[in-house]
Amino acid sequence: MANYGIDAIGNVAPQILKGEAVEERGEFARLQSFVGAMAISDLVKTTLGPKGMDKILTPAGAGPKQSQITITNDGATILRSIYIDNPAAKILIDISKTQDEEVGDGTTTVAVLAGELLREGEKLFNQKMHPQIIIQGWRIARDAARKALNAIAFDHSENEEAFKQDLLNIARTTLSSKLLTHEKDFFANLAVDAVLRLKGSGNLEYIKIIKKAGGSLKDSFLDEGFILEKSITVGCPRRLENARILVANTPMDYDKIKIYGTQVKADSMNAVAEIEAAEKDKMKNKVDKILKYQPTLFVNRQLIYNYPEQLLADKGVMVIEHADFDGIERLAAATGAEIVSTFDNPERAEKVLGTCKLIEEIMIGEDKVIKFSGCSKREACTIVLRGASSHILDEAERSLHDALCVLVSTVKSKRVTYGGGYSEMTMAKACDDAAKSIKGKQALAIEAFGKALRQLPMIIADNGGFDAAEIVQSLKVEIEKGTPAAGIDMNNGTVGNMKELGIYECLRVKEQALNAASEAAEMILRVDDIIRCAPRRRDRA
């Protein structure tokens, strides 16, 4: 009997797969995919929109980890952390992750849209429509939607003032669905300022976010220049103007011969003392080499022992030790320095050294930090976040990061569209229009695509506690009439003008969400067989 297994319906079949491997076919496989994907989309859909809710993530299992809870509204963060044992659900999580990496926002939207597409797909499938036909229809619908989306986008990048206004609106819209919603004007300004400083380079590395508990979110601020959370060594100058910065990653603890098992044998105390002196000399030589570069600030990633510290301090060099990887990399980027670990080429000093106008100690909350202002690469800036608790701070950081990402991709792609459901409804209309000219039953699938798109404003309104069906229907009418910039006004639960309300979104985020969601849904729909490999056994030692 070992070679026969009983499948789910009770038929005896010869066993082909290895023991414990599981295969699910046809109806069952599809059911699994649909259920899994929809469960994921249902899980995150309440976080959608300005009135979306947050989730608490608690690590499973006991232990110290239990105390590290996360409170978030960010779809990608939620999806990244949940336990999943469903292949289709995994696909949705993956596209959400990709969305996060590509554009940084719309991570919830993409998962929800894919889920809604599959919900419509299931209905069609139950009407005995072949998956391939549904997919054909979806493709036509997607192209139509994308065309419509591009048609309503606009580009103000020629006019700097107008573009900045657009960016502010986008930042506000993104933040309105996050924790920072109540201080969104403040943070929108903060984020736009930070991104405009980057001057299109789009390197978020230059923006450092520092979190300090205490105070409230409104006490957060953007600081020009770079802030390092380290302290200056005792005995050095505490303030430097026009600093020449040498950023290094080199051992300054002790310089011993690193050969395994080295040891010295001596026959007198004096000999030992001489060796000690020689060791000290070795370090002194290194310091002398460093001094040849004529830095006024020496920053090292590693520890610096008292002796070399003192030698440097004696020469009036400010010393910062143990500045971490992150610290030195950003500092090097911000001040235009090169990270060095050997000091044999003082003639390259001008190339290697970074510069900045002023270095001083400032206090944030209870702690002293070092501030570098007037860095040679002017893009650098630091955002200091204050807030009631670490949960708030973490979430604030995530929200701000999302906003920064969206702004950066807007600065790159330059095209902007209206939010509040305007773009989704317009795309849905395009689908409906496209369906009219199609003869075959693909038309049904195209209409279904439109329906799924309309679900997004529906969910957003629903999350706000409004009568979603009513609002979305009146919005549909407005869109059919061709009213420009019509969308949901989430403050009053009515149809409003998105241009006046300043609800803007980045086109690229929308486009990426549309593409990713439809592709994922397509992929899941094609599946008719799920094979689970036998889990690998862990041999007991």
Partner 1 sequence: SDKKRDIRTTNISAARAVADVIRTSLGPRGMDKMIQDSKGEVLITNDGATILKQMSVMHPTAKMLVEISKAQDIEAGDGTTSVVVIAGALLEACETLLEKGIHPTTISEGFELALSKSLEILKSISRPVELSDRESLMQCVATALSSKVVSSNSAHFSKIAVDAVLRIIDPKTATNVDLNDVRIVKKLGGTIDDTELVEGLVFASNKAFSGGPQKVQNAKIALIQFSISAPKTDIQNNIVVKDYTQMDRILKEERKYIAEIVKKITASGANVLLIQKSILREGINELAQHFLSKKGVMIVKDIEREDIEFISKTVNAIPIAHIDQLTPEKLGTAELAQEVFLSDESKVLKITGVPKTANTVTILCRGSNQLVIDEADRSLHDALCVVRSLVKNRGLVPGGGAPEIEICQRLAEWADTLTGVNQMIVRAYAEALEVIPYTLSENAGLNPVNIVTELRNRHAKGGKEVGINVKRGNISESMFNDNVIQPALVTQSALSLSTECVRMIMKIDDIVLSMR
* Positions 198 through 257 that interact with partner 1 (CB under 8 A): 213-217, 231, 234-235, 254-257
Q: What is the CA radius of gyration of the chain?
A: 30
69, burial (CB in 10 Å: exposed 0-12, middle 13-18, buried 19+): middle
Q: Please report, as residue ranges, which positions from 443 to 502 form the binding site for partner 1 (by CB under 8 A).
A: 464-465
- Least CB distance from residue 68 to partner 1, whole Å? 8
Q: Please report, as residue ranges, which positions from 276 to 305 form the binding site for partner 1 (by CB under 8 A).
A: 276, 279-280, 305
Does position 36 interact with partner 1 (CB under 8 A)? The reply is: no
Does position 46 interact with partner 1 (CB under 8 A)? The reply is: yes
- Least CB distance from residue 35 to partner 1, whole Å? 18
Phi, psi angles (nearest 5°) of residue 376: -65, -35
- Least CB distance from residue 449 to partner 1, whole Å? 27
Q: Please report, as residue ranges, which positions from 352 to 381 form the binding site for partner 1 (by CB under 8 A).
A: 363, 365-366, 368
Residue 37, token pair as written in the block: 């994907």
Amino acid at site 311: L
Which lies closer to partner 1 via its Cβ, residue 58 or residue 127?
58
Which lies closer to partner 1 via its Cβ, residue 177 or residue 409?
177
Site string for partner 1, 310-329 (x = CB under 8 A): xx-xx---------------
Only one of the segments 150-158, 319-327, 384-392, 399-407 lies at the binding site for partner 1 (rule: CB under 8 A); that segment is: 384-392
CA distance 68 to 102: 28
Which lies closer to partner 1 via its Cβ, residue 29 or residue 37?
37
Which of 306, 341, 345, 494 touches partner 1 by CB under 8 A? 306
Which of 31, 272, 533, 534 touches partner 1 by CB under 8 A? 272
CA distance 407 to 415: 11
Phi, psi angles (nearest 5°) of residue 200: 80, -5
Which lies closer to partner 1 via its Cβ, residue 179 or residue 375?
179
Q: What residues act catalytically? A: 74, 107-108, 402
Amino acid at site 95: I
Which lies closer to partner 1 via its Cβ, residue 80 or residue 292?
80
Only one of the segments 125-133, 244-252, 259-267, 437-445 lies at the binding site for partner 1 (rule: CB under 8 A); that segment is: 259-267
Q: Please report, as residue ranges, which positions from 165 to 184 form the binding site for partner 1 (by CB under 8 A).
A: 179, 182
- Least CB distance from residue 528 to partner 1, whole Å? 30
Which lies closer to partner 1 via its Cβ, residue 218 or residue 351?
218
Only one of the segments 151-159, 264-272, 344-352, 430-438 lies at the binding site for partner 1 (rule: CB under 8 A); that segment is: 264-272
CA distance 110 to 96: 6
Site string for partner 1, 391-410 (x = CB under 8 A): xx--x---------------
Please give the helix or strand (H or E) that residue 108 lies within, else none.
helix 107-126
Other CB atoms within 10 Å distance of the CB of residue 66: 11
- Least CB distance from residue 502 to partner 1, whole Å? 18
C-alpha distances out from residue 473 to 141, 144, 145, 335, 461, Å = 21, 21, 19, 55, 12
Longest dimension (CA), the chain: 102
- Least CB distance from residue 51 to partner 1, whole Å? 4
Does position 85 interact with partner 1 (CB under 8 A)? The reply is: no
CA distance 379 to 383: 13
Per the CB < 8 A criterion, the answer to whether 245 and 353 are in contact is yes
Which lies closer to partner 1 via its Cβ, residue 391 or residue 441?
391
At 141 the three-state DSSP class reads helix
Per the CB < 8 A criterion, the answer to whether 486 and 471 are in contact is no
Amino acid at site 117: L
CA angle 469, 474, 478 (to 5 degrees): 145
- CA 29 to the chain's CA centroid: 33
Please give the helix or strand (H or E) that residue 155 lies within, else none.
strand 154-155
Which lies closer to partner 1 via its Cβ, residue 43 or residue 434?
43
Does position 3 interact with partner 1 (CB under 8 A)? The reply is: no
- Least CB distance from residue 532 to partner 1, whole Å? 20
Only one of the segments 19-27, 55-63, 159-167, 411-419 lies at the binding site for partner 1 (rule: CB under 8 A); that segment is: 55-63
Q: Please report, as residue ranges, which positions from 65 to 84 form the binding site for partner 1 (by CB under 8 A).
A: 65-71, 73, 78, 81-83
Per the CB < 8 A criterion, the answer to whether 51 and 16 are in contact is no
Other CB atoms within 10 Å distance of the CB of residue 337: 27
Phi, psi angles (nearest 5°) of residue 189: -60, -45
Does position 58 interact with partner 1 (CB under 8 A)? The reply is: yes
Per the CB < 8 A criterion, the answer to whether 513 and 99 are in contact is yes
Which lies closer to partner 1 via its Cβ, residue 323 or residue 369?
369
